């Protein structure tokens, strides 16, 4: 019994099928890739049909790639997984064959046939199983509880009760309408996620990740705490493209964490810096993460508008980490890299500067108003072209093929997230749970904007402990965003608030995926890494409250208010970092640190009165220490000038 439960609670491991199954898998991967490009570039296929084909075939790939649980090692694919994979292909063919009926029928009013009920039930069961394999038991528990609520909620008296649903009605809503598995959330996986993950993998495979690392090393490698600063910059740059904290930690952390440990950083501190920097990539344009694409789909706000609004908070996040790393390095007298191992900026740009072209292509296409998907496609094409500038970076047909395999493997959990989140959102909608939960939040907060935000933050972080970022965002957005809007918070601010805390769940203990990924490399306690990462990322926990009260930090408002907000917030972030680390050219006393922390928070809040009070506090503590800070800065300036030569 214990072994069975252990199998159910563990996620699957990735395998590489062999023999005829490998050829079949490659055929599926090539087919789904060609299909994706065809739909986006040449077809006007109905989104529901597009989603159903993409989801079913991607899930078919997932069952060949992911084992039943973590103990099932090796590359042999059992018969039951092969059968499920073929069953999913059959479901896809079924959806194509009867697409005219599904696109024209009236849900619920036109009863499903027995075959449609069976196919729909099998689809839902498979979605639940793939959720467990790729995302773990936490997400499955939440989905299962909601399914039970859908079937038995009519037995609950009072507000949280709802009308009775039978199997046919449930399957109809969850499979054959846009409310469930193949709905708007699935569209995010079939469009944004697929093409941006493909771009990120192509960019990394061609050497773009190495370019970010080399450029970061050239910029800050010589200065105090150089490896830590390299980690912050390279993880931020790479994370803004990959949009995945765990992928970022695994890629850049394998270089930066050992380097930090080598110059004297503790394993916990090295892991925390990498985890915090990697997490910030999900809130830093131009790509951000899949949750940002979900926000665009759920709110109707264009992705480019969301990215522009997220720019200043994202930069402030990294400024805070960088300043804390700098003050900590000066306080502990941390060294940089050996000069012989550090390249110059000009040297890096001459050797690898071509990798700036795909980034510029993406930014320009978004700025010109093209769709994000088209931007990702054009950036992918640019990546392939610039890879041929040098022999060692070329994306040969073999490399391209391997990149497609890696893309589909990496997308599989995200497809599972979107499919499961579609069921979650559908149940919440058809049962009216969203409105009931909103009433509960309203009652708990008493209608106060601050208390509503506080409750929403806690809900989002709690959901993030058992679910990946996209699912945590969707669930919180469906349940809490309506009440945030009802108490007077703007649509953009409400959803960005939720998005930020969903992203921050990657470093929030006890389940912090970025911290766990960093812990494996640093050989340190993931809980300690998570708590330290939260301190390093403190600004990100504060800023959402600030931009709700005043959207100037989201570049909304008059030019004057925006400029003032950016200046005071920048001073506030530096001040807050100095207070947290206890250093500003010289060691700071405890009372000075407390004043600086309070002053920093007041300055981040975009308000004239709070900014004036904050500036008085900063002047009181830091004015006498400016000479020491300037002397320290001049030393850093000389090293930076050497790096640029």
Q: 186-213 pLDDT, tens per residue? A: 888 888 888 888 888 898 888 888 888 8
Q: Which residue in 193, 242, 181 sits closest to 36, CA to CA?
A: 193
pLDDT value, residue 587: 86
β-strand partners of 14: 66
**Look-up of token digits 């789909």:** 297
- Residue showing tokens 């959990």: 413
Q: Residue 475 has what DSSP assignment?
A: H
pLDDT at 3: 44
How large is the C-alpha radius of gyration of the chain?
25
501: three-class secondary structure by DSSP: helix
Is the pLDDT reported for residue 282 higher than 60?
Answer: yes
For 8-53, how does the pLDDT look when each residue is reduced to its tens digit (9 = 90+)? 445 667 888 888 998 898 899 989 999 999 999 888 889 999 999 9
Q: Kindly report the average pLDDT of the chain as a whole number.
A: 85
Which is nearest to 545 in space by CA: 457, 447, 439, 446?
Answer: 457
Helices then strands, counting H and E runs in the chain, come out as 31, 0
More confident residue, 108 or 266: 266
Report the pLDDT value the prediction gives residue 97, as an integer from 0 to 100: 92
Question: What are φ and ψ of residue 488, in 5° steps?
Answer: 115, 10
- pLDDT tens digits, residue range 229-239? 888 888 888 87
pTM, two decimals, is 0.83
The pLDDT value given to residue 12? 67
Q: Using one digit for the tens of pLDDT, what is the confidence trace for 560-601?
A: 999 998 999 999 999 998 999 888 878 888 999 999 999 999
Residue-level pLDDT at 563: 92
CA atoms within 13 A on the CB side of 184: 12
Confidence at residue 56, expressed as pLDDT on a 0 to 100 scale: 94
Among 287-296, 499-508, 533-542, 636-645, name the one with the lowest average pLDDT. 636-645
Rounded to the nearest 5°, which phi and psi values hold at 390?
-135, 145
Closest-CA residue to 269 (of 465, 500, 512, 535):
535
Percent pLDDT > 70 in the chain is 94
Each residue's pLDDT tens digit, 67-106? 887 666 677 889 999 999 999 999 999 999 999 998 888 8
CA angle 441, 443, 445 (to 5 degrees): 65
- CA-wise closest residue to 63 among 84, 79, 45: 84
Classified as helix, coil or strand, 586 is: coil
pLDDT at 381: 93
d(CA 90, CA 386): 40
Q: What's the pLDDT band for 632 if we cut at 50, 70, 90? A: low
Residue 582: predicted pLDDT: 87
Reported as a single tens digit per residue, the pLDDT across 333-354 is: 877 777 667 788 888 888 888 9
Q: Which of 240-244, 465-469, 580-584 has the highest mean pLDDT?
A: 580-584
Please classify residue 147 by burial: count the beta carbons closer than 10 Å to its beta carbon, then call 0-12 exposed, 13-18 middle and 19+ buried. Answer: middle
pLDDT value at position 105? 87
Provide DSSP, 432-457: THHHHHHHHHHHHHTT-HHHHHHHHH
**Nearest Cα to Cα of residue 250 among 270, 274, 219, 267:** 274
CA dihedral of 458, 464, 467, 471, whole degrees rounded to 10: 80
Is the distance from CB of 504 to CB of 537 less than 8 angstroms?
Answer: yes
User: 219 is written with which tokens?
Assistant: 């910029």
Average pLDDT over every residue of 371-392: 90
Q: Return the closest-CA partner of residue 77 out of 15, 135, 10.
A: 15
pLDDT tens readout for residues 618-627? 888 888 877 7
3 state SS of 66: strand
Percent of residues in the chain assigned helix, strand, coil, to nearest 5: 80, 0, 20
> Average pLDDT, stretch 211-220?
84
Q: What is the pLDDT of residues 502-560, one digit of tens each?
A: 888 888 887 778 888 888 888 888 889 989 998 888 888 888 998 998 899 999 988 99
Mean pLDDT for the stretch of residues 446-454: 87
Q: From its phi and psi, is residue 55 left (phi > 0), alpha (psi between -120 and 50) or beta? A: alpha
Within its chain, how far is the Cα of 40 from the centroid? 24
Tokens representing 65 are 């790639």
């Amino acid at each position: 019994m214990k072994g069975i439960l252990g199998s159910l609670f563990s996620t699957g491991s990735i395998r590489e099928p062999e023999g005829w199954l490998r050829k079949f898998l490659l055929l599926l991967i090539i087919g789904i890739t060609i299909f994706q490009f065809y739909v986006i570039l040449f077809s006007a296929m109905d989104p529901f049909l597009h989603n159903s084909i993409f989801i079913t075939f991607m899930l078919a790939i997932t069952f060949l790639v992911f084992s039943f649980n973590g103990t099932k090692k090796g590359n042999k694919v059992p018969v039951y997984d092969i059968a499920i994979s073929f069953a999913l292909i059959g479901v896809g063919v079924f959806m194509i064959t009867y697409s005219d009926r599904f696109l024209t029928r009236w849900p619920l009013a036109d009863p499903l046939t027995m075959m449609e009920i069976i196919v729909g039930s099998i689809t839902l069961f498979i979605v639940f199983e793939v959720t467990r394999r790729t995302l773990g038991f936490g997400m499955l528990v939440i989905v299962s509880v909601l399914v039970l609520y859908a079937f038995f909620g009519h037995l609950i008296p009072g507000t949280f009760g709802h009308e009775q649903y039978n199997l046919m009605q449930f399957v109809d809503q969850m499979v054959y309408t846009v409310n469930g598995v193949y709905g708007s959330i699935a569209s995010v996986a079939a469009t944004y996620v697929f093409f941006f993950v493909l771009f990120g993998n192509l960019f990394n495979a061609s050497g773009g990740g190495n370019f970010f690392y080399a450029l970061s090393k050239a910029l800050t490698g010589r200065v105090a705490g150089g490896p830590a600063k390299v980690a912050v910059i390279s993880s931020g740059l790479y994370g803004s493209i990959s949009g995945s904290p765990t992928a970022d930690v695994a890629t850049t952390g394998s270089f930066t964490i050992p380097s930090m440990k080598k110059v004297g950083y503790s394993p916990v501190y090295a892991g925390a810096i990498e985890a915090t920097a990697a997490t910030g990539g999900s809130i830093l344009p131009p790509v951000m993460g899949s949750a940002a694409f979900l926000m665009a789909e759920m709110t109707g706000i264009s992705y480019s508008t969301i990215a522009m609004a997220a720019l200043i908070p994202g930069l402030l996040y990294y400024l805070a980490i960088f300043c804390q790393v700098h003050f900590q390095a000066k306080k502990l007298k941390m060294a940089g890299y050996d000069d012989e191992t550090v390249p110059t900026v000009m040297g890096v740009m001459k050797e690898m500067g071509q990798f700036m072209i795909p980034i510029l292509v993406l930014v320009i296409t978004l700025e010109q108003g093209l769709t994000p998907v088209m931007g990702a496609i054009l950036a992918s094409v640019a990546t392939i072209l610039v890879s041929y500038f040098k022999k060692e970076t070329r994306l040969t047909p073999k490399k391209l093929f391997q990149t497609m395999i890696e893309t589909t493997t990496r997308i599989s959990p995200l497809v599972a997230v979107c499919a499961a989140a579609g069921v979650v959102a559908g149940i919440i909608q058809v049962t009216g749970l969203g409105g009931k939960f909103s009433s509960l939040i309203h009652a708990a907060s008493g209608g106060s904007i601050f208390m509503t935000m506080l409750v929403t933050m806690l809900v989002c972080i709690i959901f993030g402990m058992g679910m990946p970022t996209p699912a945590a965002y969707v669930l919180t957005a469906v349940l809490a965003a309506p009440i945030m809007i009802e108490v007077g918070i703007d649509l953009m601010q409400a959803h960005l608030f939720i998005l930020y805390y969903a992203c921050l769940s990657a470093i929030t203990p006890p389940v912090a995926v970025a911290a766990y990924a960093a812990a494996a490399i640093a050989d340190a306690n993931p809980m300690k890494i998570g708590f330290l990462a939260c301190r390093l990322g403190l600004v990100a926990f504060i800023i959402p409250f600030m931009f709700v009260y005043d959207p100037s930090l989201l570049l909304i408002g008059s030019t004057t208010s925006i400029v003032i907000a950016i200046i005071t917030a920048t001073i506030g972030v530096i001040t807050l970092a100095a207070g947290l680390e206890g250093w500003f050219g010289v060691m700071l006393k405890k009372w000075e640190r407390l004043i600086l922390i309070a002053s920093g928070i007041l300055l981040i809040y975009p308000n004239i009165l709070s900014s004036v009070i904050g500036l008085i506090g900063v002047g009181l503590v830091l004015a006498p220490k400016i000479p020491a800070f300037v002397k320290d800065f001049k030393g850093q300036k000389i090293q930076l000038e050497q790096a640029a030569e």
